[in-house]
Amino acid sequence: MSREKIAFIGTGVMGSSMAGHLLAAGYPVSVYNRTRSKAEELLENGAVWKDSPHEATVGADVVITILGYPSDVEAVYLGSTGILSALHSDGVAIDMTTSSPLLAGIIAEVGARRGISVLDAPVSGGDLGARDASLSIMVGGDQAAYERSLPILEVMGSNIVYQGAAGAGQHTKMCNQIAIAGGMVAIGESLSYAKRSGLDPATVLQSISAGAAGSWTMSNLVPRALQGDFAPGFFVKHFLKDMKIAIESAEEMELELPGIELAKGLFEKLVAEGAKDEGTQALFRLFLDEKD
């Protein structure tokens, strides 16, 4: 059975691995990224380079995007030469960027008027999840389009859940980011306490990461920070963007979220210190480097 032709737009830290899995699974994949060098390995493995999102979309059956900011999503989908102007009717577009739930609804509505199904399918799991094809994928949009796209999503992730109508995937990702943000502050305080009390944070981690306090963040990001490794699996600047979206969405619902407001302030401090392009584990440096 012939496989659907996929256009993959955004081959950064996570997207390159995700597109690579699709190639390995036998899908024909065309790619576009603002920086071509980030797609070179994919091209060596059989992907076809395109010079724009529009060019990549023409002839594709499914378009997958994973971009930086909602403004990028809006431009790439709704621009005069955007995806929705190029994808054929009955095509499916899957935006895996963490973006605005409101924007996801608008894009899905525009797509539907053109006979195109648009899914919002943000992911969690960072660079490791992308590399291991173990991402958690949260999907909103037309359910029939979700079921059609499920074999493709299963190549990139291991926990794919349909959450509901357009925007539901993004709302679910906001729940995810709210939980992570609060948890990272708590972990940072724990590390600070360990250091101040004269304990070795790495040794403490051996105990608490295996108990009730354990989490993905504690097991995967804290060891990086303790080793001085702040390379991005997920950028500080992108996590700050996510927190701002969550807060804006909460305000629209008249919901107060004091925990994420606190976390946002700490990540803004990191950005002010020049750490916007580091990994989110840089947050722990604020707690470990504090003077006694």
Cα-Cα-Cα-Cα torsion 234, 238, 240, 242, nearest 10 degrees, comes to -100
Instruction: Give the dihedral of Cα atoms 100, 102, 108, 111; nearest 10 deg.
Output: -90
- Could you tell me which of 258, 264, 249, 64 has the C-alpha nearest to residue 170? 249
By C-alpha distance, which of 144, 158, 116 is closest to 7?
A: 116
φ/ψ of 8, rounded to 5, equals: -115, 120
Contact 132, 24 (CB under 8 A): no
Give ∠ CA 244-145-71 in degrees, rounded to 5: 25
Q: Would you say 229 and 282 are in contact if contact means Cβ atoms under 8 Å apart? A: no
Helices (H), the chain: 15-24, 40-44, 53-57, 70-78, 83-86, 101-113, 126-132, 143-156, 168-196, 201-208, 216-220, 222-226, 236-252, 258-272, 283-288
Catalytic residue (choose from 5, 38, 50, 173): 173
- Supply 68's token pair: 């930086």
Catalytic, 173? Answer yes
Q: Which of 8, 129, 10 is nearest to 68 (CA)?
A: 10
Structure tokens at 159: 């926990």
Structure tokens at 194: 């360990």
Positions annotated as catalytic residues are 173
